Amino acid sequence: MIKYLGKSLQKLYFDGISITITIIEYISTYCLNLNSLKLRIGSGINYVFPYFKNLRINNLILIIHNQYFRNNLLANLFENLAPINV
């Protein structure tokens, strides 16, 4: 379905299911112009991020189900982000 509708999709939410590498590969190949993407990521989180580099997403929502990664992400978040002005 992503393969055939990908170019026309503006929003894509995977809520309630854990994302797989195959789904991320399809999104990064066929859905390059998404405005909003919501994903639930489990144990394979380290393998998912390289696929995001081709996407131009305005609104990225990640639900992370990996306690170790989540703790490290929060600890290092402010060190790696550029200041945001509103």
Out of 27-31, 46-50, 67-71, 75-79, which region has the weakest mean confidence (pLDDT)? 75-79
CA distance 85 to 8: 32
Percent of the residues in the chain that have a pLDDT greater than 70, as a whole number: 62
Contact status, residue 12 vs residue 37, Cβ threshold 8 Å:
yes
Predicted pLDDT of residue 80? 58
- For residue 46, the model assigns a pLDDT of 64
Find the mean pLDDT for residues 38-63.
Answer: 75
Determine, yes or no, domain membership for 66.
yes
d(CA 86, CA 84): 7
Number of residues in the chain? 86
Say yes or no to pLDDT of 4 above 70: no
Distance in angstroms (rounded) separating the CA atoms of residues 40 and 82: 25
Q: How many domains does the chain have?
A: 1
> Is the model more confident about 45 or about 11?
11
Residue 85 within any structural domain of the chain: no
